[in-house]
Structure 1
């Protein structure tokens, strides 16, 4: 089958045909680094990691670019509030983001460019736009340069908005603009902003606008035209709309497919740093959910669906994943870990259907049921086959508990190590009680563990434990 993706630009599911056979270029709008990431940001990384893994499995060579916005209005506000250099704030949050992605087994990008490293490319693009009549320096001496929205007739097609119907905000009424809907490509130096946040340019000392940053980095790493541009649904307008306008006006073919993921909401509003309603990785681990379980929670719904977060729904997803993990561990103890095998046709068909992970997981759970029956019935051949198929599917989703990325430590493993040590101590006490035939004490330890959500199973290889449904 051929992968079919929902393309925001055409509002339809289309067969994915790479620009160059066997090679795929993907650009994902990364994080603006004014503060640490919340799990809404991490959903973006996980969703596009699954897309990347599926394309790689399908035989494509992937160039995956995920940018970092390290100069931006919001970062400069933080710089002034905290009395710290803007670059120090950005770098500190970049390190936190990197650790969070590593904890969630998100593959590192081919390149992860920072906006501040691409000022020359931005200058070149802006010069092209001015020369082509699509941009103009402000006439008020501010040093600002604006894109002329009405010079691009297709403006608004991605988001379905019409220029004449767009709202006029206070910010859009700057004196240097010819039209309220024009947007900044270059922002002249302002006396009330940090003194180190500027670069020389043909239009005066200043800094880039947000939108030109991504266009310049796409151009630098993926060329004039590339396959997939991704990001959150909230970036469709104005960010992605503006990227299209400026890139195509500069003569670049730009993105062939636009893929947007749904938002992760907290209550009725999207999870947002500006609103202060955020859940981060530390909170998730504080309620006893591990990073691999959080990844399952993010992978289980279709990438275009909205997730309404609650601690309860996250814990339910964690329990569902533990059933998978429990089978993999028990089967590996019985027949050996082996290697991931062939994918069931139903799983592959679901993934080719616009990355329908929900349907793909339904196939996985069917195989899991058969595997548990084989394991319970002593059918080693059936157990081997089921384990190989389950691990193959989990590998695509980045959820194989036997993957060294999960078993080799790193961010998020400290909690598991602590739990391991505490449970091992309790099991040692239970073993001593059983050794002296104090069955009541042994049962008391087991009951205490069960109340804490730890289920102990006695096997020929000794006691093994899992975090069970009561946790």
Structure 2
């Protein structure tokens, strides 16, 4: 089966042709571990988890090497350590495990390799030294900077920007030791309170961009198949990665295919603490939103489109998943050809979910089970939250039906609305139609809240 992917480098959808079908190699930029993963961090983790699952389905489980890094040396981490009085090692160990726990709860499998930047300092120093020796980088006042002018023909090709446009549009760090405003840091000096390593340029630490170049080369080679991440990384991070990798390795590319997912919003607005719509993955999990529900909502929008998280979408996702899980419980998986075909078309997860709806409508439990598995929406067993609680809601349904009948006569629906709101607050899905009233315990059902009724 052909897989088609939209390559950011060529700005077109292409048939994916791996360098070696027996070892398909993918690198994805992972988190900087200084705090809990927020909802936006979950999107690339889920998107590229689906791609890794698809690649393993098509090429074989043992023929894919997936790498996602951890940035564990960074100024945000240094600041968190200074604020808390805790060691950097303690903070990064804790936050790395938080990330793995929270992302695992939304069905993200662990990649084959999860390199930490601090374990590859020697490789970074060697790469930087090679760039200095070849004239692509220079040392200045304890720093080492990549000389963008040394690779004029290639710089900007990924983002499609000219050097002048990038200088005009970028928030460039002004420094007297830079030869060109666009030159970027490969190595910087560390003081006594900052993590540092010995190097030919003095005690210091790496710049952000060099870590991915060094780690991807060490684990995947000089040129590999797919490099992914959020589109906020396209420039400057990925542009800089390409420049330093190509110049260090003497290649014309770093990866054959570049994939970027769009950003996330919450209730139609950019996620922001000041707007009160900032959520970590753990926040939602602690509020009772199931990991499968978070994943379903994320996958309901194509990865190249902005994704809007809403409470309504989460409630709908829980409803659909509950129905599907009831249908597939205890059923062996069959074939998921339609779901795989949708995913093979540029990771069309929305189309794959439409296929799940179709399979459910046909009562094809085996096919539905297989499709849910390919999407990472089910494990070996149906999750406990989705199993209908042993509770009789018939009296509440009768109560709501009677209130509706009375309201039809009086035209006063306040009692109906109040009853519906109370049921929804208890985690009950309320379905009203001409045929009657149906009440279904939702993913966040809390029987204790029915006592007030």
TM range (shorter): 0.7 to 0.9
Q: Across the two proteins, how many residue pairs are aligned to each other?
A: 412
Question: What is the alpha-carbon distance in structure 1 between the residues aligned to residue 160 and residue 93 of structure 2?
Answer: 36
Question: What is the alpha-carbon distance in structure 2 between the residues aligned to residue 32 and residue 440 of structure 1?
Answer: 51
Tell me how far 1:469 sits from its aligned partner.
9.4
Q: Structure 2 vs 1, CA of residues 387 and 248 (structure 1 numbering), >3 Å: closer, same or farther? A: same
Question: What is the alpha-carbon distance in structure 2 between the residues aligned to residue 272 and residue 200 of structure 1?
Answer: 39
Q: Structure 2 vs 1, CA of residues 46 and 442 (structure 1 numbering), >3 Å: closer, same or farther? A: closer
Q: Is the 8 A contact 1:450 1:470 kept in 2?
A: no
Question: What is the alpha-carbon distance in structure 2 between the residues aligned to residue 292 and residue 270 of structure 1?
Answer: 23
Tell me how far 1:285 sits from its aligned partner.
3.1
Q: Is the 8 A contact 1:129 1:250 kept in 2?
A: yes
**SS of residue matched to 2:5:** strand
Asked if 1:403 is matched to 2:380, the reply is: yes
**Which residue does the alignment assign to 1:352?**
344
Question: What is the alpha-carbon distance in structure 1 between the residues aligned to residue 296 and residue 395 of structure 2?
Answer: 38
Tell me how far 1:296 sits from its aligned partner.
0.8
Asked if 1:11 is matched to 2:17, the reply is: no
Question: What is the alpha-carbon distance in structure 2 between the residues aligned to residue 93 and residue 274 of structure 1?
Answer: 23
Q: Is the 8 A contact 1:294 1:318 kept in 2?
A: no
Q: Is the 8 A contact 1:326 1:466 kept in 2?
A: no
C-alpha deviations, 1:167-208, integer Å up to 9, x for none? 4677621121111110000011246xx24x011001100000
**SS of residue matched to 1:58:** helix
**Which residue does the alignment assign to 2:190?**
189
Structure 1 unmatched runs, 5+: 372-385, 408-412, 431-438, 457-464
**Which residue does the alignment assign to 2:218?**
220
1:337-376 correspondence runs (5 A): 337=331, 339-344=332-337, 346-371=338-363
**SS of residue matched to 1:250:** helix
Question: What is the alpha-carbon distance in structure 2 between the residues aligned to residue 24 and residue 274 of structure 1?
Answer: 42
**Which residue does the alignment assign to 2:179?**
178
Q: Structure 2 vs 1, CA of residues 117 and 289 (structure 1 numbering), >3 Å: closer, same or farther? A: same
Q: Structure 2 vs 1, CA of residues 442 and 390 (structure 1 numbering), >3 Å: closer, same or farther? A: closer
**Which residue does the alignment assign to 2:227?**
229
Asked if 1:90 is matched to 2:81, the reply is: no
**SS of residue matched to 2:59:** coil
RMSD: 3.1
**SS of residue matched to 1:199:** coil
**Which residue does the alignment assign to 1:248?**
246
Q: Is the 8 A contact 2:289 2:444 kept in 1?
A: no
**Which residue does the alignment assign to 1:210?**
208
Q: Structure 2 vs 1, CA of residues 440 and 78 (structure 1 numbering), >3 Å: closer, same or farther? A: closer
Tell me how far 1:286 sits from its aligned partner.
4.5
Q: Structure 2 vs 1, CA of residues 103 and 440 (structure 1 numbering), >3 Å: closer, same or farther? A: closer
Question: What is the alpha-carbon distance in structure 2 between the residues aligned to residue 276 and residue 147 of structure 1?
Answer: 40
**SS of residue matched to 2:173:** helix
Tell me the TM-score normalized by structure 1. Answer: 0.80
Tell me the TM-score normalized by structure 2. Answer: 0.83
**SS of residue matched to 2:312:** helix
**Which residue does the alignment assign to 1:388?**
366
Question: What is the alpha-carbon distance in structure 1 between the residues aligned to residue 46 and residue 440 of structure 2?
Answer: 25
Q: Is the 8 A contact 1:322 1:467 kept in 2?
A: no
**Which residue does the alignment assign to 2:155?**
155
Structure 2 unmatched runs, 5+: 400-418, 431-438, 446-453
Tell me how far 1:215 sits from its aligned partner.
0.5
